[in-house]
Amino acid sequence: MGRLILGSRSPRRRELLEMLVAPGLIDVRPPRSSDELGFEGLTSWLDIAQQLQRIAREKNDDVLSQISSSDDSQLVLTADTVIVASDALGSYRVLGQPPRDDSWREVVRGWFRDLYAGRSHIAATAICLTDQRTGRRLERIVQSHVWVRDDVEPLLDWYLATEEPRGKAGGYALQGFGSVFVTRVEGSITNVVGLPLDALVELLPQFGWPLKK
């Protein structure tokens, strides 16, 4: 049995993966480059999905380039998650992390007021799995629809004071304080957190990888 290389800087992704794979079989090897393709100007779901999958694929190629032929690794897993909301005109918009300067509070406040309140948005994760020895690759995009309560305003000042939105795609974390705004999730809950385990339960066995019991 080889090892599964998780190409990620996110501790949360490793924690989720350890629910399916024995911790001793997981190595973390982040991509060398932190530069990623952006979503500027993309307003259709097809264009956004294609770009998202391309990002996960490029991360996978980056990690593969770090592995020597003598390495005992078997699989390389990379993923990328974004929040996609629709505006008043029905165009899709990818919400990344809030700005790092002091404007982040007003940016997140605007997202909750204008794009989240009383509506649903999409948490989408692109997965890329590659067998280092054979080059076989499987890719998938998982969507979850997240509904947010109508009356976000009474909680916004408190939520922004927690500073949880900083560094979070879309300005919230389902596993954190942001959960108080969410009324329903349709689809994979772990996908919203950052790694869709239901998809991996299907994909890993296709490489002969045993799931944790």
187 CB neighbour count, 10 Å cutoff: 17
Q: In sequence order, which residues have a C-beta less than 8 Å from that of residue 34 and are 6 or more positions away?
A: none
The residue annotated as part of the active site, out of 80, 131, 157, 198, is 80
The rounded distance, in Å, linking the Cα atoms of 91 and 47 is 12
The rounded distance, in Å, linking the Cα atoms of 154 and 114 is 15
User: Residue 183 corresponds to which amino acid?
Assistant: T
Contact by Cβ (8 Å): 48, 70: no
Q: In sequence order, which residues have a C-beta less than 8 Å from that of residue 86 and are 6 or more positions away?
A: 92, 93, 115, 119, 121
**87 phi/psi in degrees, rounded to 5:** -90, -175
The rounded distance, in Å, linking the Cα atoms of 174 and 183 is 11
Contact by Cβ (8 Å): 85, 111: yes
151 given a catalytic annotation: no
Catalytic residue positions, numbered:
80
